[in-house]
Chains A and B, each alone.
Chain A
Amino acid sequence: MRISDVTSTKRSAMFLIALFSCFQIIIGFILITSESHDIVVSNNKALENIIITDAKTYLRDNL
């Protein structure tokens, strides 16, 4: 292999790969925050269900 084989084309390709990797990191953070949002939403839903269930139980027992 010749030393002069590292052309500007390869450098451009390296830049492109670096760009994609940065994009991938951003995607990772988006996925993590969307997962956190999903967890919060599902926790709220679970809490809501507990409250509703407790309320129904209270009404059934006391009315």
Chain B
Amino acid sequence: MISYYNSKHPGLFIYVTLVIISVLSFLFTPISTLQIGVLSILWGSFIFMRVLSLYEVSEHFLPFLKTSHSKDNNGSALAHDLIHRMKGENHMKRGAFALKSIEGRTFFWFMLAFIYVIYSFYLSHDFISKTMLIQNFSMFFMIGAGFWVGQTYAYSDHASKFLFVVFACLFGVSLFEASGYINFKAIALSELSIILASLIAYCAFILLYSCIRGASYIANALIGLVIITILSISWMVLENNSQTMAIWISGWSLFSIFWVRSRCRTYKKYKLYQCQ
């Protein structure tokens, strides 16, 4: 059976490539149904593979709960226990922290985002065609996928630096390209804007709460706050077009790095001992 959890680095580069392709296609090419269809298939396939790899890693956790080696070898219980744990270090290093992406606070983010998407569809289903509805759903999925997958890689110190450089460049280019479409529209206080504001406020609250955990988290939390501030401003002042979608994809993918780093330190080495 092919093991996907060993493929950390190819997965990381595939993720970055997908984000780059998505952002650049929204920025520099006219959007078509075919284009969004192809991107949907690529993103859906990648997410499926990533979840499969995480599930495979989680299957290796159960053996660590058992210390039957010590029962069989009373004379060298500690040695066998250590060897048993050392053998699985790679499994834990690559998967244990990646599974932090499936947490309550991230789940709540997706709940709010899902409510926003469903309510916007409910409001607009009389005005736009079914194909357009499906297209919009695909684009929202890409944003969510970029946000989630970034968390599964950003626990690693090297990977988070790599992701930060690439996504910051994409975010900057997207903002630059979209700056020509500034339209200071009047923001009506609608249910939709309230839902989105709730999402932004929730992110800000989580980041501010992270600040009290220690100095090492403050910098990451503040950068995360800056990013969501820029995203909020772009939502308020920019026209709704494909450039805005590029900003959202690159922005939320960039934000995912600091969403993770504001909560846990990025480890270069996995700590071998786990005291239960």
Binding between chains A and B: yes
Using a CB–CB cutoff of 8 Å, the interface residues on chain A facing chain B are 1-6, 10-11, 13-14, 17-18, 20-25, 27-32, 34-36, 38
Known interface pairs A3-B61, A32-B37, A32-B38. Does A21 touch B99 (Cβ–Cβ under 8 Å)? no
The yes or no answer to B217 lying at the interface (CB within 8 A) is: no
9 pairs across A/B with beta carbons < 8 Å? A14-B102, A17-B51, A22-B48, A23-B44, A24-B47, A25-B48, A27-B37, A36-B34, A38-B33
Given the contacts A13-B107, A21-B48, A31 and B43 also touching, CB distance less than 8 Å: no
A5 to B102, CA, bound (A): 11
A31 in contact with B40 (CB, 8 Å): yes
Q: Which residues of B contact A27 (CB under 8 A)?
A: 37, 40, 44, 134, 137-138, 141
A30 to B131, CA, bound (A): 9
How far does the alpha carbon of A21 sit from the alpha carbon of B92 in the complex, in Å? 25
Shortest distance from the beta carbon of A5 to any chain B beta carbon, whole Å:
7
- Pick from A11, A17, A29: contact of B47, CB below 8 A: A17
B37 in contact with A29 (CB, 8 Å):
yes
Interface of A is mostly: helix
Indicate if the CB atoms of A13 and B102 lie closer than 8 Å: yes
CA distance A6 to B59 in the complex (A): 9
**Chain B min CB distance to A39 (Å):** 8
CB contacts (< 8 Å) of B107 on chain A: these are 13
Which of A17, A31, A35 contacts B138, CB < 8 Å? A31
Name B's A-contacting residues (CB within 8 A). Answer: 32-34, 36-45, 47-48, 51-52, 54-55, 58, 61, 64-65, 92, 96-97, 99-100, 102, 107, 131, 134-135, 137-138, 141, 145, 148, 274, 276
* Majority SS at the chain B contact face: helix
Given A6-B61, A22-B44, A31 contacting B135 (CB threshold 8 A): yes
Among B33, B64, B135, the one with the most A-chain Cβ atoms within 10 Å of its Cβ is: B33
**Chain B residue, CB-CB nearest to A39:** B34
By a CB distance below 8 angstroms, the chain B residues around A28 are: 36-42, 44, 138
B37 touches A31 (CB 8 A): yes
Q: Give the shortest distance, in Å, between B271 (CB) and chain A (any CB).
A: 10
Most buried by A among B36, B37, B100, B131: B37
Is B55 in contact with A24, judged by CB distance below 8 angstroms?
no
Chain B residue at minimum C-beta to C-beta distance from A18: B51
**Are B64 and A14 in contact, with the CB atoms below 8 A?**
no
Residue of A nearest to B270 (CB): A1
Known A1-B100, A6-B61, A27-B40; 15 more pairs at CB < 8 Å = A3-B64, A10-B58, A13-B102, A21-B44, A21-B48, A22-B44, A24-B43, A24-B47, A25-B41, A28-B44, A31-B131, A31-B135, A34-B33, A35-B33, A38-B33
The answer for the CA separation of A5 and B100 in the assembled complex, in Å, is: 10
- The answer to whether B61 touches A10, judged by C-beta atoms less than 8 angstroms apart, is no
CB distance from A48 to the nearest CB of B (A): 22
